[in-house]
A and B are shown apart, each in its own frame.
Chain A
Amino acid sequence: MIEIKNVSYAIGGAKILQDINTVIPKGSVTALIGPNGAGKSSLLNLIGRIEPLQTGTIDVDGQNVTTSHSGRLARTMAFLGQHTAVASRLRVSELVAFGRWPHCHGRPGPEDHEKVADAIAQFSLRGLADRFLDELSGGQAQRAHLAMTFAQDTPWVLLDEPLNNLDMAHSRILMRKLSDLRDAGKSVVIVVHDLNQAAAWADHLVAMKHGRVVVSGAPDEVLTPDWLSALYDTEVQVLRYADRPLVLSHV
């Protein structure tokens, strides 16, 4: 599990996160939801130790993200953020192979090749494996980065808005893969804006606003008209479909 204790975070004078205390359960798909600027991405960045913590502590499976060896953390969690621009000219297969770096440090063995080939196949990138990243569409590049993150093969997977650039079909495929990961005993944390994706696939929701956790719990507890209307400052209706909440906010 991920334990977040007394975490506050400020950039310049702006308070991004204020006194966050929450626990993200192991073996589940957790979605961070909330309006723009709620601090979801900042929280995920802090968990993924991309930015250093200012106050408070975060432990992932008992490993403190500030003091633990970064190489070992890279075998515990894989992080995919929103800044995926790569400076060097790489082929898709090379990018995905970098996902094995924490395990092989540039000297891949048979198992590494297998995991890479598997990740490429899973994200239907076989036909694109020899293409350069700058020759791909936004959605294809996003899939290549996701494949790299999967190739890292870690107990925890942290994804910041992974559905960006993906079409309906690939969005559903990705969410299904994430729930497959959960079924295989792994844990997933995603930042997601589409509440219906969260309703359909997540087990645990953490709703944030103005840098604080407003409410957290199972989708049925969080995705209610009252909570959502308060969260987004707009009227939201919630229906039920296939025994899951269905959020209506567009009309």
Chain B
Amino acid sequence: MSDTVIAPSQTQRRFPLWRNPILWLFLLLILSCAMWLFQGISGNYDFILMLRAKKLGALICVGAAVAVSTVIFQTVSANRILTPSIMGFDALYVMMQTLLVASLGVAGFAALASAPKFLLETGLMTGLALALFGTLLHRGARDIARMILTGVILGTLFRAGSGLLARLMDPNAYATVQSVSFANFARAQTDVLSIAAVVTALALAAAIWLGPRLDVLALGRERAISLGLPHARIVILALVLVAILVSVSTALVGPVAFFGLIVAGLAHMISNHMTGGARHRVLLPVSALVAITILVVGQTVFERLLGQQATLSVVIEFAGGLFFLWLLLKGKIR
């Protein structure tokens, strides 16, 4: 190694515009959105565009929510194999929704306006997630095997809980619950779209603010505290954001177990490759753009080309499951 002199700029890595992955992914996303909106359009333009735009909005919210929540969760838990879904976050959401329907009845549940209902669910979800996962993550979650096991057990518990409740309630109520119990990108719940979009936008803004702090958090608890980061507060804030974002995506399309894992993995690969690092101010937008693009392109292919012969969620879960196994077998657990 030659003993070269360090230019001050070297300590803060700048990269040329053409190496900015956000720019390229954004262009790609615009293209795929245009394709989604205008492909094979004929007849009643206004109606079709409106319908497609609503669905597109839901896909954008879901993609951004899944990606950003996964990246944040992986940083907080200091490993790259856990996702909020694997830890049972969305199962918790489904159970809570089932509980609400069971306690209020279908009429009561339907009587709630969609926006307050969504906010109520999200609030409850955030409280529960904090109570359950806050203590688990507070000490920096050094024991990954125990974390995974805890997640599997909690996930099973929540799913079994909602299963039990579903068997106890009448078929009408069950039908109400069922729509949120399985992932379905084609029939996104667009009635909560506007409030979900607002919540997602706020959460994303908070996530971007959190970005540099997450970089410090990733140095480990000891170093983060000695640099003056209010560690406990940042962990709690991150968990709140994760809970909110998981609520958004689960409310819109239902639980998606492995999608976040693929997207976070891709985002780390892209930002490492193109910017030579993994700063959250790059990582978070990249992961969101990748996720939305995959959803929009995938949904276009499945809905228009394959004519609903297969469903996107199944393919994504299959690919994600393989990726999860590959991570496990390669020993990438940290």
Contact = CB atoms under 8 A, between A and B. Distances in A.
Contacts of A242: none
B216 A87 contact: no
Q: A interface, how many residues as a size bin? A: 35 or more
Contacts of A83: 220, 222
Q: Which of B3, B212, B220, B221 has the most CB of A within 10 A?
A: B220
B11 interface: yes
Contacts of A212: none
A231 B228 CA distance: 35
A98 B219 contact: yes
Contact of A49 (B1, B9, B75, B225): B225
B12 A97 contact: yes
B219 A113 contact: no
A105 B227 CA distance: 10
A76 to B, nearest CB: 9
Contacts of A79: 222, 225-226
B281 to A, nearest CB: 9
B11 A116 contact: yes
A91 B277 contact: yes
B4 A152 contact: no
A96 B8 CA distance: 12
Given A87-B334, A127-B3, A113 B228 contact: no
A74 B228 contact: yes
B317 interface: no
Interface string A83-105: 11111111101111111011001
**Residue of B218, B226, B277 most packed against chain A (CB within 10 A):** B226
Given A87-B218, A88-B215, A98-B216, A70 B225 contact: yes
B6 A93 contact: yes
A66 B215 CA distance: 24
A73 B230 CA distance: 11
A72 interface: yes
Nearest to B7: A117
A91 B275 CA distance: 12
B277 A113 contact: no
A101 to B, nearest CB: 5
Nearest to A85: B220
* Prevailing SS type, chain B contact patch: loop
Interface string A108-137: 101011101100110000111110000000
A81 interface: yes
B223 interface: yes
Nearest to B212: A106
Contacts of B230: 70-71
B222 A88 contact: no
B264 interface: no
B146 to A, nearest CB: 17
B227 A117 contact: no
A110 B8 contact: yes
Interface in A138-173: 152
A78 B276 CA distance: 28
B227 A152 contact: yes
Interface of B: 1-6, 8-13, 75, 78-79, 212, 215-216, 218-223, 225-230, 272, 276-278, 334
Of all A-B residue pairs in the complex, the 3 with the closest CB atoms, nearest first, are A74-B228, A127-B1, A113-B8
11 contacts: A48-B225, A49-B225, A50-B226, A81-B226, A87-B75, A87-B334, A93-B13, A101-B228, A113-B9, A126-B4, A130-B10
Interface of A: 48-50, 70-75, 77-81, 83-91, 93-99, 101-102, 105-106, 108, 110, 112-114, 116-117, 120-121, 126-130, 152
Given A50-B222, A81-B222, A96-B11, 18 more contacts: A48-B225, A74-B226, A75-B228, A77-B226, A78-B226, A81-B226, A88-B215, A91-B13, A93-B11, A94-B11, A98-B223, A101-B229, A102-B227, A113-B8, A113-B9, A117-B6, A120-B6, A127-B3
